[in-house]
């Protein structure tokens, strides 16, 4: 990589370099030339400086030997004594990515009394389950858990490490990436593994206005977190395969700075992420009371209701009802949206639904790009009629 640098001992602040820079990337401050973020390394200033106070540095990027890093490791999170569903979804994606490169898929599981969860992982096709089971790991102690997963990574040298975008995963993954001086891409919606083992990590960026493709080319392992309900979980096999390896607890786990004084279980709550049928209201709703129609239709269909971000910002619903990057990712069998424009922040968190029906007055609404059935019309005409039809019991007319 090239970089333009100023030799301050030679610079007299004449300003000639600033005048010739085609990108306006040089400023004179305090009697010295300074380079800002607009620099494109064109080196025009290097040739123009009469004092030879500007130089072009060539830096060498240290690259890891990718052949020494093989396979995919999934961090399998245990929540309330059971495997979090995102763990099996990640295993399903890992198996898909690993097949063309003939990679092994392994899992790491951490906590206290996790033998049952470790055994359950053997029914989803992983080669080896590395288990860390100790009372010192009770409760989520980020530093202690990171020490355990780090131990697995150093032992197996995986090319890719997948972690769920849960409260635990979002705390654990950055700690691990820092320990290995490598990259981490959060909240990925798609993953592609190239033949050279580079992982293309795709996620919404710039407020959801683009889908960025991020690649960690020079370091290993490659860390990515993925939201629940984004990937497909594999079918649970009746026969267990692979093996469980119980690893000794690393010293770092016993030296945890976190002390758990007490804990209290959070009462289980219904989540829109688990709904089989969802009815969604968007910006097209004129007043908060109109959400009652959304709720009523959801009840008639035996499902749940949700909203897009604008309605949360208006205070009409809580964040737990929001579909989107700052809300929930959903994947129901049926989703019906009313007055939702379908910005990428919303669409990327529901476009894997089995069947999508969208109602909007704008024929060019982005939501129609992902909908299986697009209805151009006024929700205030269609929604009441749909509710009336269902109440009459004439389901065959829908």
Among the residue ranges 132-146, 199-213, 223-237, 267-281, the one predicted with the least confidence is: 199-213
Supply the pLDDT for residue 397: 43
Tell me the per-residue pLDDT of 128-185, one tens digit each, with 9 for 90 and over: 999 999 999 999 999 999 999 999 999 999 999 999 999 999 999 999 999 999 999 9
Tell me the per-residue pLDDT of 63-110, one tens digit each, with 9 for 90 and over: 799 999 999 999 999 988 899 999 999 999 999 999 999 999 999 999
CA dihedral 325, 326, 327, 329 (to 10 degrees): 20
Let me know: does 108 contact 71? Beta carbons within 8 Å.
no
Let me know: does 304 contact 278? Beta carbons within 8 Å.
yes
Q: Is residue 395 packed enough to be buried (19+ CB in 10 Å), middle (13-18) or exposed (0-12)?
A: exposed
Domains of the chain, with CATH numbers?
2-58 (3.30.70.20), 66-254 (3.40.50.620), 272-397 (3.40.50.1220)
Let me know: does 77 contact 226? Beta carbons within 8 Å.
no
Q: Is residue 136 packed enough to be buried (19+ CB in 10 Å), middle (13-18) or exposed (0-12)?
A: middle
Tell me the per-residue pLDDT of 317-367, one tens digit each, with 9 for 90 and over: 999 999 998 899 999 999 999 999 999 889 989 999 999 999 999 999 999
Q: Average the pLDDT over 187-211 and give the result.
A: 88
Let me know: does 108 contact 76? Beta carbons within 8 Å.
yes
pLDDT at 311 over 60: yes
What is the three-state SS of the chain?
A: CEEEEECCCCCCCCCHHHHHCCCCCEEEECCEEEECCCCCCCCHHHHHCCCCCEEEEECCCCCCCHHHCCCEEEECCEECCEECHHHHHHHHHHHHHHHHHCCCEEEEEEECCCHHHHHHHHHHCCCEEEEEECHHHCCCCHHHHHHHHHHHHHHHCCCEEEEECCHHHHHHHHHHHHHCCCCEEEEECEEEECCCCCEEEEEEECCCCEEEEEECCCCCCEEEEECCCCCCCCCCCCCCCCEEEECCCCHHHHCCCCCCCCCCCCCCCCCHHHCCEEEEECCCCCCHHHHHHHHHHHHHCCCEEEECHHHHHCCCCCHHHEECCCCECCCCCEEEEECCCCCHHHHCCCCCCCEEEEEECCCCCHHHHCCCEEEECCHHHHHHHHHHHHHHCCHHHC
- Band the pLDDT of 398: cuts 50, 70, 90: very low
Exposure string over 334-355, b if 16+ CB within 10 A, otherwise e: bbbbbbbbbbbbbbbbbbbbee
């Amino acid at each position: 990589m090239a970089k333009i640098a100023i030799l301050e001992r030679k610079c007299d602040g004449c300003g000639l370099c600033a005048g010739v820079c085609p990108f306006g990337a040089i400023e004179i401050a305090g009697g010295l030339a300074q380079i800002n973020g607009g620099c494109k390394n064109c080196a025009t200033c290097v040739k123009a400086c009469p004092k030879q106070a500007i130089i072009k540095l060539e830096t060498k990027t240290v690259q890891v030997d990718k052949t020494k890093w093989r396979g995919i490791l999934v961090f399998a999170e245990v929540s309330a004594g059971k495997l979090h569903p995102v763990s099996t979804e990640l295993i399903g994606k890992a198996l898909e990515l690993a097949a063309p490169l003939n990679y092994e898929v392994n899992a790491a599981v951490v906590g206290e009394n996790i033998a049952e969860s470790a055994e359950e992982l053997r029914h989803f096709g992983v080669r080896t389950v590395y288990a860390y089971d100790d009372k010192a790991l009770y409760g989520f102690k980020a530093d202690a858990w990171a020490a355990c997963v780090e131990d697995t990574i150093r032992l197996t040298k995986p090319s890719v490490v997948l972690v769920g975008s849960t409260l635990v995963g979002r705390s654990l993954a950055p700690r691990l990436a820092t320990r290995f001086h490598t990259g981490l891409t959060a909240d990925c919606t798609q993953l592609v593994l190239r033949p050279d083992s580079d992982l293309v990590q795709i996620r919404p960026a710039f407020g959801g206005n683009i889908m960025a493709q991020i690649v960690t080319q020079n370091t290993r392992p490659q860390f990515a977190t993925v939201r629940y309900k984004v990937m497909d979980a594999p079918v649970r096999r009746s026969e267990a395969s692979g093996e469980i390896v119980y690893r000794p607890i690393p010293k770092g786990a016993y030296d945890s700075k976190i002390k758990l004084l007490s804990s209290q279980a959070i009462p289980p709550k219904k989540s829109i992420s688990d709904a089989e049928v969802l009815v969604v209201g968007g910006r097209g709703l004129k007043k908060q009371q109109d959400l009652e129609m959304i709720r009523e239709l959801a009840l008639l269909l035996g499902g749940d209701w949700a909203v897009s971000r604008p309605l949360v910002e208006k205070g009409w619903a809580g964040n737990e009802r929001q579909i989107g990057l700052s809300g929930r990712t959903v994947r129901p069998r049926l989703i019906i949206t009313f007055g939702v424009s379908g910005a990428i922040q919303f669409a990327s968190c529901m476009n894997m639904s089995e069947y999508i029906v969208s109602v909007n007055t704008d024929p060019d609404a982005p939501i129609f790009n992902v909908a299986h059935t697009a209805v151009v019309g006024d929700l205030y005409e269609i929604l009441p009629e749909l509710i009336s039809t269902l109440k009459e019991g004439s389901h065959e007319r829908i």
